[in-house]
Structures are given as C-alpha cells and as structure tokens.
Amino acid sequence: MENQNVLFTIFGGTGDLTYYKLIPAFYQLFLGGRLLNDMTIIVLGRKDKDTTTYRDEVREILMKKISNFNENIFVAFSAKLHYYKMNFEKPEAYEGLNTFMESKNCPNRIFYLATAPKFFPFISEQLKDNKLLDIEGYARAVFEKPFGYDLESAEEINATISDIFGEDHIFRIDHYLGKEMIQNINTVRFSNQIFSAIWNKESIDNIQITVKEKDGVKDRGGYYDHAGALRDMVQNHLLQILALVAMEPPKSLNNHGIREEKVKVLQNLSIETELESHTNLIFGQYEGYRDEVKVDPNSNTETFVAMKCFVKSPRWEGVPFYLRTGKGLDGGEAKIVIEFKVDGSSTPLNAEKIPNLLIIKIQPDEGVYLRINTKEPRSESNLMSVNLSYCQSCDIFYKSPDAYERLLLDILNGDTAMFTGWEEVKSAWELISEVVKKCPDKSKYLDTYPIGSDGPASAHRMIKMDGRHWWRLDDLNNDSE
Ligand SMILES: NC(=O)c1ccc[n+]([C@@H]2O[C@H](COP(=O)([O-])OP(=O)(O)OC[C@H]3O[C@@H](n4cnc5c(N)ncnc54)[C@H](OP(=O)(O)O)[C@@H]3O)[C@@H](O)[C@H]2O)c1
C-alpha cells in the first residue's frame, strides 16, 4: 500500500454522492482494515453545520444502509471525518481552507470534486493560486462524471486541470469501471483459451451491451433534462464497456496498456445516425417524463437510446455492437451478451442449433453464463440448450465490494488503470458530438414507451431487421424477448 498519510478533501461533501456512496465506501474500507490510521477526510459544503452534526448525519445513513454497522468501529472511523463550511465559488475562502488543512499536518493531498463539471476548472485554479498544491508530497485530483457537457466543454476543462495537476495525477471517475464484473472482463477473456482464441469476427456474430434503469429521473430532472441518455450513459459507461470488450490484447494489463488499446477502439468506432429509417439509432422517452419535476414540459430529451455501431478493425469487421440504455424500464440491469455464430458443421442431431452465448452479468446479479447445446436426455435426436452458470453474487459468504470502495483504494494507491484517460474521454465526446450534430431535431423521431416497459418497440424492430433479437436473461430457456 502506498503512503496514505493523506488529507482527502471532498468538494460536494453534503451531496448525495458523498453521503450515500463515498462515505459508506470509506467506512467499509476502514472496517476491512484497508485504510491506514493517518488518513484524514475533510468534507466541504455550504450548509451551516459542524463536524459533530455531520458525523451524526453520517451515522444515521450508515446505520440504515450497512448491515454490518458497528458503533465502536464507527466512532474510530468518524474521528477521521471533519466538516468544513465553505462556498467554493468564493476565491477568498481558499486561504482559510489551506490553514485548516495545514493544521492536519499531512504531506499528501487528494481533492475529490463531487460537483457539477462547470466548477472543475475554477476550483482547480483556486487550489493552485492559493497554494493548496504547494505541499511536500503528492497532490491528486479526482473528477466525477460527467466530464463536461460536450466536446468543447470537456476540452476546456481538461486544458485547465491537466496544466495544474498533470495527467498522471488526474483520476476521471466512471464508477462502472470499478464494478466487479467489469473488472472481470479482461480475466474472462484473456485467461480462457476457449474465449481468447475466438474473440473475433470469425466466431462472434454480434455483441449486445444493455444498461437498464428502473427508476425515472426522480429529483434529478434539472440535470438530466440537459443531458439525456446519450450524454449521461452512452458517452461514458456504455462506450467504456464496449472499449474494454473490443480492445486488442494490451501489451500489458497496466494503466497505460489498457488505456492505449481502449482509445484505439473508440477512435475506430462508427455510429450510424440514420434516425428516419429506424435501422441503427433509436431515441425514446418514457411516458410522463415531461411531467417530472424540473423537466421542460415540451422536452425532447431522450430517456432511452438504442444504437448499432461497428469497430473498424480487422478483428471486428462486420460485427455489430448493439447498445441500449434507458430510464423507467422494466428492471435495473446491466449485462454484456456475446452471441457466437452458429456452427455450420453437421451433427448427429437434426434440430436447429442455437447460438452459444457468453453473458457477463454486471448487476444486479454478478456472474458469467455460458449457453451450450446438448442432447435432450432420453431423446435420440432432440437438441436442447443449457446454461452453465456461475453466479458470484449468489454466494452468501461473499459480498462484492461497491465500485467506489475499489476506486477509492486505487486513488489512494495512485493506480489510474480503472479511470478514464483524457484521450478516451475526448474520443467518446467526439463520437457523441457527431451523433448530436447529425440529429439536431429529435422531436420527430422520439418514440415514447410506457414506464416499466422494456423500451420503445422500435428498438426491437431495429435489431429484428438484422435477423436478431435482444437476449433476455430471465427466459433464456425460452430464447428471446
Ligand atoms: N449522486 C450520484 O450517485 C452520482 C453518481 C455519479 C456522478 N454524480 C455526479 O457527482 C456530482 C455531485 O452529485 P450529487 O448527487 O452529490 O449532487 P448534489 O446532491 O446536488 O450535491 C451537490 C454538492 O455540491 C455542493 N455545492 C454546490 N455548490 C457549492 C458551492 N458554491 N460551494 C460549496 N459547495 C457547493 C453542495 O453543498 P451544499 O448542499 O452544502 O450547498 C452539495 O454538497 C454531480 O456532477 C453528479 O452528476 C453523482
């Protein structure tokens, strides 16, 4: 473990992300003995409260959220937590923050910006101008997603922050990359000859990446109505998953090796933007979205996207990658389905062969499923398909760490492998900006869908036109949706 005599300062310390994700993750790390004693956490907010009140709020949240809550552990953990009241938009407030930080006597500093991206450059500049970065040890900066609103804003943010911190000290969070099964993609692919040898267009028919959310926008309508599914989900989570699945084997599985290969995938990704024909890009909006709080009553923001893309490389030529994501759907689920080509050789069985599938389940359950063909018992010629299933999250003695636990530990250890590099962010924004530019008026092509459904019918028609269907886990034995 790296030196953790560190001061970890969170801007946005009274926000949902800090209360419900970061603090619980820190608590679990502490509980597991993975935080060293000399670490201090400062949470920053505008609200008028003190450290005691903040610790009490945190205790209540943890007691509700964490089944293994322990009061004695909490007392030891919360001694690390300090609340600091400050308006981070006021330059004159930073000197006082620096004095407060100096009183904690830590040589290393990590700044976590759990704020809207428009504040990233300003806060970074103030940290520099007010000498909060003039320290003995390292200064790292963590930036929450979304990293910008579009290519231009992302470039502006990046120009400022990379000047101030340097790329090696910047951690751009995409918390999906910290999820257990996302981290497992490389292992499943590269440590099994049965997959690594056939991870290509000769054997794979298509790849489907689905991230469904059951909830609507809840109280985040103000943010979401300006973002939409394309910016909020596709630009980061879905493209990151696609890049991991499609990348060439990296020279090494370290930070630089993986990033280098993921960037190449994103730079060679083509997304068709033919909205009218409904053949490769579908935008949807759940019924009732326009009545949500802080949403424009005439909003044309998409709450659902389905798209077909291709990676232009010898490995993937002609293999479609189907992506879909949305809110207000029939369940919260994330999975990757790799559909193999049907083996054309003859078998002693007469029945039609069903394609092999490799499914990586990301959430809510975590696991790997493999579907193969076998002979039906007691029959001479009937074929049936069976699922070989490994469900990691079904093990009652094992609980996967939350993505933030893993990512916080990586930040403390200075490991940037599971964070997005600037070139990846830039390439992803270039793709999304291109789509946005080509589809300026979504109103004519925005298909509505009932809340609790599996999205607009057009998303099914799109893939059906290619002679395929979205694979559904619940009824794999019954084949398809
Ligand atoms: N919530 C999630 O699960 C989640 C997941 C992924 C990414 N994110 C991203 O993370 C960021 C934060 O999300 P959130 O849900 O935590 O937002 P939030 O609940 O709206 O919290 C915003 C935080 O920013 C603080 N803040 C705003 N302006 C300030 C100022 N001028 N001076 C000092 N503090 C100020 C607020 O402090 P006061 O309330 O004390 O004023 C509050 O702590 C957003 O960009 C979001 O997109 C969130």
Encode pLDDT of 172-187 as tens digits: 999 988 888 888 899 9
Active site (catalytic) residues: 237
CA quadruple 332, 335, 206, 418: dihedral sign:
positive
What is the residue-averaged pLDDT of the chain? 91
Q: Can you give the pLDDT at residue 480?
A: 43
Q: Which of 20-29, 123-132, 436-445 is the least confident region?
A: 436-445
- Please work out whether the CB of residue 178 comes within 6 Å of at least one atom of ligand 1: no
Q: State the first-to-last Cα distance of the chain, in angstroms, to the nearest integer.
A: 47
Q: Is residue 302 within 8 Å of 285, Cβ to Cβ?
A: yes
The pLDDT, as a whole number, for residue 481 is: 47
Mean pLDDT, residues 125-146: 96
What domains are there in the chain, each with its CATH number?
Answer: 6-144 (3.40.50.720), 177-401+418-478 (3.30.360.10)
User: Does residue 12 have its Cβ closer than 6 Å to ligand 1?
Assistant: yes
Tokens of 302: 């998409």
pLDDT category of residue 458 using cuts at 50, 70 and 90 = very high
* 379, burial (CB in 10 Å: exposed 0-12, middle 13-18, buried 19+): exposed
Q: Mean pLDDT across the stretch 32-48?
A: 90
- The pLDDT of residue 1 is 53
Lowest mean pLDDT among 96-105, 241-250, 343-352: 343-352
Q: Is 219 near ligand 1, meaning CB less than 6 Å away?
A: no
Residue nearest to atom 41 of ligand 1 (CA): 46
Ligand 1: does its nearest atom lie under 6 Å from the Cβ of 45? Answer: yes
Phi, psi of 316 (to 5 degrees): -115, 10
Please report, rounded to a whole number, the percentage of residues in the chain having pLDDT higher than 90.
76
The residues near 263 (Cβ < 8 Å, ≥ 6 apart) are 243, 421, 423, 424, 427
116 alpha carbon to ligand 1 midpoint, in Å?
Answer: 7
- Give nearest CA residue, ligand 1 atom 20: 15
Out of 9, 16, 97, give the residue to mutate to test ligand 1, the one with the largest number of ligand atoms within 8 Å of its CB.
16
The Cα 440–Cα 139 span in angstroms is 41
Is the CB of residue 174 below 6 angstroms from any atom belonging to ligand 1?
Answer: no
- Rounded Cα distance, 144 and 253, in Å: 24
Q: pLDDT (tens digit, 9 = 90+) per residue, 351-361?
A: 677 899 999 99
Residue ID of nearest Cα to ligand 1 atom 3 = 17
Please give the distance, rounded to the nearest whole angstrom, from the Cα atom of residue 153 to the centre of ligand 1.
Answer: 19
Which residue pairs, CB below 8 angstroms and at least 24 apart, start in 26-31? 26/77, 26/408, 27/62, 27/66, 27/73, 27/74, 27/77, 28/66, 28/401, 28/402, 28/405, 29/405, 29/408, 29/409, 30/73, 30/76, 30/77, 30/80, 31/68, 31/70, 31/73, 31/77
- Sequence-separated (6 or more) residues with CB below 8 Å from residue 461: 278
Local confidence band at 416 (pLDDT 50, 70, 90 cut-offs): confident
pLDDT at 2: 57
d(CA 139, CA 154): 22
Mean pLDDT of 272-291: 88
CA–CA dist 335, 299 (Å, integer): 29
> How many whole angstroms from 12 Cα to the centroid of ligand 1?
5
CA nearest to 262, candidates 428, 434, 429, 435: 428
Q: 224 in ligand 1 pocket by Cβ < 6 Å?
A: no
